Structure 1
């Protein structure tokens, strides 16, 4: 292995990516179409602009290649450019993409979904997760005649006002008390919210990377919703196709009234879904005598490419076991990196945690506190060594070789991390400003100057 002092030299060039990123800032607010993809989420002047991907690897505009984690913000579980999906899409779009009437493909895709998710009676497709969650909230309000929505203290549910208005990035949103919060794994906090006034819906992820439901919690949520007349909505954006093809509702055995899906449904092709019990979903249809709900009505929701991709994804999950593969890769990665941190005596400061299919890394400063500066240093060293990702979320395409290369990169990055801990700061090791939370009130501390 190279001498320790050699580990701190820069190894990759980002000239072309930096040029493209500067141009993106001129034409796209924030320099990316998703805040989580923004350059402020990566070390300064080290945010690769990508040009292609295959399996678990991607290439940037400078010719650098990386083992990627996060995989399209958790949307790609089978690997980039997965051939069966591409072939299915190619066949479908050869016959047209968008029509003025439903296609048989819409029926077949809906049947596939409902066969996969036994807790749902009906489904409607859209293009992004926020469409689905906001439609679910609208439907719950119409079904109950109530306004207030109770959301769990979890990171993200929608770009729409009812959720974004609760975040630090609430500029332009009228103040409203129509959204209240409760704590995960805390039935008492939910009970207080439900007893305080009429609630239309309770919205939560059944589980997250770092939080499993305590015994009885989800059933307790179900029971409280029934007692107080609120609809239970599960956000399955991440858990669907990552915990189980049938979602967290199947893993934990609790049926919601409505559930919202997206991300991995199309292995990167844009598709989301709102699913649920017939008595509620029919309020958006033509077989009700009640006032109709404008549920979901999207031009591109049923386009053939994404529906064909979804059906190919379902076939892969039905005939293979991609979740087992991504979990195996995740366990190997977590064990390898945590062993390195322990060997270097920094296990309390650098950790890989979470469900094997949805891992994150935790970075702490010398005082043991979560640190954006130390996180950025770790990201910087991984990028220099061919590992790209804000997390260690795996896919079924991550091979033993990919994991071995990542663990080797983490060993070298951990040397730098240990040096920073020893000296008490990242000074002299981190190039540029630390990353910043994606949802923050001001552009500072990663404000970008105009050209």
Structure 2
């Protein structure tokens, strides 16, 4: 479809309604209207498999589903069946359900590098619990986070380090320091500078160079701090056991979420028994308020997690995600090269977790060119804040995506030749999530 003819009147009205009722018009900043071209932020009616429909009746091939959480596709029958079964039996009781034991056993069988696990509802809660536990066991206050990761938690210890730190005391921000990914020497310098002060190293294990994670493990041991792997994204997408299972480096604590529930709200803090028991009832020392959530062990969400893990291990989902991602990346790169913008529309990341960069005439990241690119994808039936795949995508879906990318790249080339993408953005450019002013 010609992008100039593409409009979303019902979505636009629904967005106005949302903004009147919900701060930001969405419950996650990454889903905000400001992340999409002006007046082209679809409001979703429903989804199935790799497709979603907006309230205007348009169907899209969807990527990055549920901010990377829906990796099996929407309304996956095996997951839904498990959820329905538990909902009919009740979801929350005055005492633990036997489902909690089953879910813990299933998780620890899937992630054998961990010895205990505690479930919650979102990633921020479990990552913050890991930080609190590390502070308790080390007696130290300072937290070192990998500065190359855009997000660890919605809690103060991390948000204080972002441009959206309003309402957080400066003293909180001073307790969080950062280290660069892949640079062991810089990390050791940091730990030496704050000798005896750093409670933990927190990072997404990502795509490490050989020896890097092993080096961090050694640094944490030498300096007496806790090594925490944030496996929100890498969990299941890198391997069924996460990055720690793929690379063979065992953290002290790790956190999982997103793909764990295929969109249902469930997250997990996992780790060494010696540390995790500090939040339990079988430890003689001072108690740690680790996690205590009313809804953290709802039976239907734990059933979803068990079904997801079983599906991954039995059906080889991780390998399928990589195969789909490889096919998509090759197609996008070929389309970009064919339009003469191969150096400007760039696909990056692991095949199961692809993102794209939109670069300007000088090779710099550009929100204006991202806006142009997104407009043309949307008008041609592709909803892609990233190119993160789900296993529900078919070859036909990938082909349709590549065709839409090719059309967008043709316009991208025109904008580069003109030296100005503004005539093709349709209004204000998309904005970064983390910024100090609305």
Place the TM-score, normalised by the shorter chain, in its bin.
over 0.9
Q: Is the 8 A contact 1:12 1:64 kept in 2?
A: no
Quick one: distance in 2 between partners of 1:97 and 1:318? Answer: 26
SS in structure 2 at match of 1:124: strand
Quick one: distance in 1 between partners of 2:216 and 2:391? Answer: 32
Structure 1, unaligned runs of 5 or more: 1-6, 444-451
State the Cα deviation string for residues 5-49 of structure 1 (Å, max 9, x = none).
xx7543433000000101111111011000000010000100000
State the Cα deviation string for residues 246-294 of structure 1 (Å, max 9, x = none).
0101111110000011001110000000000000000000001111000
- In structure 2, what is the equivalent of residue 171 of structure 1? 166
- Map 1:281-360 onto structure 2 (within 5 A): 281-360=276-355
Give yes or no for the alignment of 1:190 onto 2:187.
yes
- Map 1:33-432 onto structure 2 (within 5 A): 33-153=27-147, 154-176=149-171, 177-197=174-194, 198-207=197-206, 212-432=207-427
SS in structure 2 at match of 1:428: helix
Structure 2, unaligned runs of 5 or more: none
- In structure 2, what is the equivalent of residue 447 of structure 1? none
Q: Is the 8 A contact 1:127 1:300 kept in 2?
A: yes
Quick one: distance in 2 between partners of 1:129 and 1:9? Answer: 37
Equivalenced residues, count: 433
Q: How far apart are 1:66 and its partner, in Å?
A: 0.1
Q: How far apart are 1:427 and its partner, in Å?
A: 2.5
SS in structure 1 at match of 2:145: strand
Quick one: distance in 2 between partners of 1:90 and 1:111? Answer: 21
Quick one: distance in 1 between partners of 2:3 and 2:282? Answer: 67
Moved over 6 A (4+): none
SS in structure 1 at match of 2:72: coil
Quick one: distance in 2 between partners of 1:114 and 1:329? Answer: 28
Quick one: distance in 2 between partners of 1:75 and 1:386? Answer: 21
State the Cα deviation string for residues 380-425 of structure 1 (Å, max 9, x = none).
1100000002100001111001001101111111111111111111
RMSD after superposition: 0.9
The counterpart of 1:20, out of the listed 14, 21, 35, is 14
Quick one: distance in 1 between partners of 2:7 and 2:338? Answer: 31
Quick one: distance in 1 between partners of 2:393 and 2:367? Answer: 27
Quick one: distance in 2 between partners of 1:115 and 1:222? Answer: 23
Quick one: distance in 2 between partners of 1:353 and 1:149? Answer: 29
Quick one: distance in 2 between partners of 1:247 and 1:42? Answer: 31
Q: Is the 8 A contact 2:3 2:375 kept in 1?
A: no
Quick one: distance in 1 between partners of 2:259 and 2:102? Answer: 18
Quick one: distance in 1 between partners of 2:19 and 2:150? Answer: 26
State the Cα deviation string for residues 348-400 of structure 1 (Å, max 9, x = none).
11121211111111111112111000011100110000000210000111100
- Shifted more, 384-393 versus 317-326: the winner is 317-326
Q: Is the 8 A contact 2:373 2:412 kept in 1?
A: yes
Quick one: distance in 2 between partners of 1:249 and 1:167? Answer: 27
Quick one: distance in 1 between partners of 2:320 and 2:396? Answer: 14
- Shifted more, 77-86 versus 335-344: the winner is 335-344
State the Cα deviation string for residues 149-171 of structure 1 (Å, max 9, x = none).
11011111000010000000000
SS in structure 1 at match of 2:170: coil
Q: Is the 8 A contact 1:183 1:190 kept in 2?
A: yes
SS in structure 2 at match of 1:391: coil
